[in-house]
Amino acid sequence: MDALRDVIYGSGLLHVTWGTVLMWSAAFLLMFLAIKKQYEPMLLLPIAFGMLAANLPLAGLMEPGAGFLWRFFHYGVEWDIIPPLVFLGIGAMTDFGPVIANPKTLLLGAGAQVGVVFTLVGAHMLGFDLREAAAISIIGGADGPTTIYVGAKLAPSVLGATAVAAYSYMALVPLLQPPVMKLLTTKAERQIVMRQLRPVSKVERLLFPLVSTLVICLLVPASAPLMAMFMVGNLFRESGVVDRLVKSSQNELMNIIIMLLGLSVGATLSAETFLRPQVLMIFGLGMIAFILCTATGVLLAKFMNLFLKEKINPLIGAAGVSAVPMSARVVHAIGSEANRKNYLLMHAMGPNLAGVIGTAVLAGVFISVLGG
């Protein structure tokens, strides 16, 4: 009987709390969204399981210095290894042709980041310190790895919540962006047909990652871990001589890193850190940031049209967020709905990719100014 009593008291059953059950429920909800609804399943599924595992009583998976998942998080995320490797894989999959063919789209990618700045101010006014406000506001860029990178550098206490919010809103792009896009544009504007992009030469494709690395990393050194890996991945792709590296970056490496990233981030979502009123505010502010970034991108495109002889469809400004390629697809769908002859996908990919660059640069600025 003593042995049985020791087994019972040594198990986690007697340590289950209402907070534990709530976190399990949240984990199961994320799993449902990932599996049934296919909302960003590549990351939401491991994040959900990491959340479930971190809330197993007495398991100690996130015990500092000893926990299995703690090692993933500490050495992978806190030591700035996993997010830059994600950017390496993204770079290897990226075609910068639309940006090179239409450099104006770089402005749209930058313009969408204005929403991030507005949210930073708002979050700080609501009581978050500047480092937390920066980590929350970057959600608006809809770039999961960058959100994680900034959170790990500036505000680890809100990292889990900001990461889940970022990936949730990336998955909800088809629901969140169309109302904003339609509200800020007229039907005539949505019907604007843009001329086919010019062909981009091999030399231009090779020079783009090299010049971008030099310019961006010299201006904003704190963005170098993300931008350098992003651009070297793209250089691998465009060089045409390292197919094995490109395939490994796109597939095996990317898949392993995403699994580790998701489990690590999910494991930070313990009941003690997640079940706080601040977390609801983070999700609310994240949605506001995302909507503002969509809006400022569209408004900048409309402003640019005041000075352009050849008008651009302002819908493509909404793709200035970093949700690649979901946002570009949504822009194309709304444009086709207004005009069946409209094919905006490649035009929208320009701001979409510029948004990735813009969010990473802004992250570097935050880290430089606020310390990391």
pLDDT tens digits, one per residue of 263-288: 988 888 888 888 888 888 999 999 99
Q: Is the omega angle on the peptide bond into residue 325 within 30 degrees of 0, that is, cis?
A: yes
Domain that includes residue 358, residue range: 73-370
On whether residue 43 sits in a domain, the answer given is no
Q: How far apart are CA 119 and CA 181, in angstroms?
A: 19
Stated pTM of the model: 0.88
Q: How far apart are CA 188 and CA 222, in angstroms?
A: 42
Name the DSSP class of 37. S
Going residue by residue through the chain, which has 372 residues, state the pLDDT in tens, using 9 for 90 and above: 666 665 565 666 777 889 999 999 999 998 998 899 887 788 889 989 999 999 998 888 888 887 888 888 888 888 889 999 999 999 999 999 999 999 988 889 888 888 899 999 999 999 999 999 999 999 988 788 899 899 999 998 888 889 888 887 887 888 899 999 999 999 999 999 998 899 999 999 999 999 999 999 999 999 999 999 999 999 999 999 999 999 999 999 999 998 988 898 888 888 888 888 888 899 999 999 999 999 999 999 999 999 999 999 999 999 998 888 889 999 999 999 999 888 999 999 999 999 999 999 999 999 999 975
C-alpha dihedral, 217 to 134 to 86 to 270, nearest 10°: 150
On whether residue 5 sits in a domain, the answer given is no
On whether residue 94 sits in a domain, the answer given is yes
Give me the residue label for tokens 């992003």.
230
- DSSP letter string over 279-326? HHHHHHHHHHHHHHHHHHHHHHHHHHHTT-SS---GGGGGGGSS-TTH
Residue 307: CB atoms within 10 A of its CB come to 6
- DSSP letter string over 334-349? HHHHH-TT---HHHHH
Amino acid symbol at 18: W
Q: How far apart are CA 189 and CA 303, in angstroms?
A: 12
Q: How far apart are CA 103 and CA 153, in angstroms?
A: 31
Q: Is residue 129 helix, strand or coil?
A: coil
On whether residue 25 sits in a domain, the answer given is no
On whether residue 98 sits in a domain, the answer given is yes
Q: How far apart are CA 235 and CA 252, in angstroms?
A: 18
**Can you say how many angstroms the Cα of residue 108 is from the centroid of all Cα atoms in its chain?**
17
Total domains in the chain come to 1
On whether residue 48 sits in a domain, the answer given is no
pLDDT tens digits, one per residue of 111-128: 888 889 999 999 999 999
On whether residue 229 sits in a domain, the answer given is yes
Residue 304: CB atoms within 10 A of its CB come to 17
Angle at 263 between CA 257 and CA 266, to 5 degrees: 135
On whether residue 224 sits in a domain, the answer given is yes
